[in-house]
Amino acid sequence: MSDPFVVVGADAAGLSAASKFRREAPDREVVVFEKGRWISYAYCGMPYFVAGYVDRMSDLLSLSPSEVDERGIDLRRDREVVAVEPDAKRVTVETADGDRFEQAYDDLLVATGARATTGPFDVRGVDGAFTLHDMDAAAAIDAYVAEPDAYDPDRADVSAVDRERVDRNAAMRAPETAAVVGGGYVGVEVAEALAERGLDVHVFHRSGHLLSPFGETVGNRVEEALEAEGVSVHTDAPVDALVGDDRIGAVEIGDEGDPETVPVDMAVVGVGIRPNTDLLDGTGVDLGAGGAIRVDDRGRTSLPDVYAAGDCATARHAVTGEPDWTPLGLTANRAGRAIGATVAGDPTPVGDIAGTAAVKAFDTEAARVGVLDRGKAEEAGFDPVSETVTAGSRSGYYPGAAETDVTLVADRDTGRLLGGSIVGTDRAAIRIDTLATAIESEMTVPEIERLDLAYAPPFSPVWDPILVAAKVLNGTLDG
């Protein structure tokens, strides 16, 4: 009998792979090791849980352990894979009690995700200081921001939750002021969430505008949207230190010699993440962008019969053609599913990525795709030209029409679309999918201008904002 398909990590990439493999190869064994208790959860929903838009933590779960079991997947929780021996084709697994055992594999998928980095800050052991990169943190933040007598323990209604941590945070006096350190998309979502919970929120961002990968137009409008709802946005304001012994009391920004101190009684640090690759230390596996595991178009690593997918792996960028690292949910699910099929005997590409991402700040929606950054475009051999337009989201006379800003970036020589961003208050974000499709198809801006996009007054003006932007950029390309 052959050895099983072994999967490390039981979330988006890992369980997508195991489920697909099980369906395609019902007679073969698949074992999934998960180091924690949580499985099949939606990180993406955590800010909305904290905001109070989602009632119960269980609403953020997709599959329960028993449902995974019913699929015929051998799921083993509290089992951390600590080492891989590619020549012997086996992994070393450590239980929560510290016992170790070995497991042989035919094929191995590393789907270990990423973890939050905290830069110079140590958030451990300081009450009121958090990162938001696991479900227990979401439960703890939710408990911390509630007044002790108003907290509903049923919100953290999942057996896997760290109840002791939740209870401890629920018992503390509720904070009034919060610092969000880092103005990336998670920072923006957390700022909205905490403001919705009644806190006085400050966002501190290292560079000149929020949401750096979305470009300046988007960053500025999102900043305005947050400020309109009472959030204080500090740009060019890297936080130097979190201040407080047992419980956080302030953040320090600015000069080391003469720092500005902003008093806060809560801080959520969202300054970046790092791929979880430790289990492959010493194997000589090739790493790529962002320190993620470098994979080919089938998700294969440089080690024989070892695949990687999701936040721990690279993916080919649709514009540059190079391995890139943009850790997002669809990428993980899609690559996992493809690898499940490949290992089962149906070779399937994991697909390219275009860095398509969307975020909202209250009523303002923002999205981006492709390569917006001039330097990155030039590095990839393009000569980027860009235009930004402001256009109506619906016919001007139709209720609800709102100004939508569209930025398009194209290559001067070929006219090929390289990237785009959209921001506005009327269904702006989902329009990015038109641009994502255009980028995947390597369309030129003249081709985009000729697209037959839907027109009816409630949905779009005759000239959709994307068509307006393409028209203007074409003029520049022709000029």
Ligand X SMILES: Cc1cc2nc3c(=O)[nH]c(=O)nc-3n(C[C@H](O)[C@H](O)[C@H](O)COP(=O)(O)OP(=O)(O)OC[C@H]3O[C@@H](n4cnc5c(N)ncnc54)[C@H](O)[C@@H]3O)c2cc1C
- Supply the residues annotated as catalytic: 44
Among the listed residues 30, 81, 239, 285, the single contact to ligand X using CB under 6 A:
81
Q: Give the footprint of ligand X on residues 380-439 (CB under 6 A).
A: none
**Residue 276 DSSP code:** -
Q: Compute how many residues bind ligand X; rule: CB under 6 A.
A: 33
Q: What mask of x and - would describe binding to ligand X in positions 234 to 273, judged by CB under 6 A?
A: ----------------------------------------
Alpha-carbon distance of 434 to 38, in angstroms, equals: 35
Return the range that interacts with ligand X (CB under 6 A); candidates 2-10, 380-388, 429-437, 460-468. 2-10
| C-beta closer to ligand X: residue 13 or 139 | 13
Q: Give the footprint of ligand X on residues 180-199 (CB under 6 A).
A: 186
| C-beta closer to ligand X: residue 135 or 174 | 135
Distances (CA, A) of 247 to 112, 125, 449, 453: 31, 9, 56, 54
| C-beta closer to ligand X: residue 237 or 280 | 280
Burial call 87-122: b when 16+ CB within 10 Å, e when fewer: eebbbebbeeeeeeeebebebbbbbbbbbbebeebe
Among the listed residues 28, 30, 47, 415, the single contact to ligand X using CB under 6 A:
47
Q: Does 310 bind ligand X (CB under 6 A)?
A: yes
Q: How far is the CB of 132 from ligand X (least distance, A)?
A: 5
Among the listed residues 5, 6, 7, 13, the single contact to ligand X using CB under 6 A:
13
Token duo for residue 428: 């702006």
Return the range that interacts with ligand X (CB under 6 A); candidates 10-18, 49-57, 251-259, 457-465. 10-18
Contacts of 240 (CB under 8 A, 6+ apart): 120, 252, 253, 254, 256, 259
Return the range that interacts with ligand X (CB under 6 A); candidates 38-46, 51-59, 426-434, 468-476. 38-46
Q: Please say whether the beta carbons of 175 and 153 come within 8 A.
A: no
Q: What mask of x and - would describe binding to ligand X in positions 93 to 132, judged by CB under 6 A?
A: ------------------xxxx-----------------x
Return the range that interacts with ligand X (CB under 6 A); candidates 39-47, 163-171, 216-224, 461-469. 39-47
| C-beta closer to ligand X: residue 38 or 382 | 38
Nearest to 14 by CA among 101, 75, 90: 75
| C-beta closer to ligand X: residue 95 or 441 | 95
Q: Does 80 bind ligand X (CB under 6 A)?
A: yes
Q: How far is the CB of 91 from ligand X (least distance, A)?
A: 9
Q: Does 11 bind ligand X (CB under 6 A)?
A: yes
| C-beta closer to ligand X: residue 81 or 267 | 81
Q: What angle do CA 361, 205, 177 make, to 5 degrees?
A: 70
In this structure, how many other beta carbons lie within 10 angstroms of the beta carbon of residue 1?
Answer: 5
Contacts of 404 (CB under 8 A, 6+ apart): 390, 391, 392, 393, 422, 423, 424, 426, 428, 431, 465
Tell me if residue 336 falls in helix, strand or coil.
Answer: helix
Among the listed residues 4, 6, 14, 303, the single contact to ligand X using CB under 6 A:
14
Residue with tokens 């190869």: 25
Return the range that interacts with ligand X (CB under 6 A); candidates 27-35, 229-237, 244-252, 261-269. 27-35
Among the listed residues 4, 6, 7, 12, the single contact to ligand X using CB under 6 A:
12
| C-beta closer to ligand X: residue 311 or 411 | 311
Contacts of 32 (CB under 8 A, 6+ apart): 6, 7, 8, 9, 10, 14, 15, 18, 68, 73, 74, 75, 76
Distance of CA 123 to the CA centre of its chain: 21
| C-beta closer to ligand X: residue 311 or 464 | 311
Q: Give the footprint of ligand X on residues 132-171 (CB under 6 A).
A: 132-133
Alpha-carbon distance of 219 to 428, in angstroms, equals: 15
| Half-sphere exposure (Cβ direction) of 317: Cα atoms closer than 13 Å | 21
Q: How far is the CB of 228 from ligand X (least distance, A)?
A: 22
Distances (CA, A) of 473 to 381, 421, 455: 20, 14, 21
* DSSP E strand boundaries for 317-473: 323-324, 357-361, 364-370, 384-392, 403-411, 417-424
| Half-sphere exposure (Cβ direction) of 137: Cα atoms closer than 13 Å | 20
Q: How far is the CB of 8 from ligand X (least distance, A)?
A: 5
How many residues in the chain? 479
| C-beta closer to ligand X: residue 435 or 473 | 435
Q: Does 44 bind ligand X (CB under 6 A)?
A: yes
Q: Please say whether the beta carbons of 433 and 443 come within 8 A.
A: no
Alpha-carbon distance of 10 to 39, in angstroms, equals: 5
Interface with ligand X (CB under 6 A)? 8-14, 33-36, 43-44, 46-47, 80-81, 111-114, 132-133, 186, 276, 279, 310-311, 327-330, 332
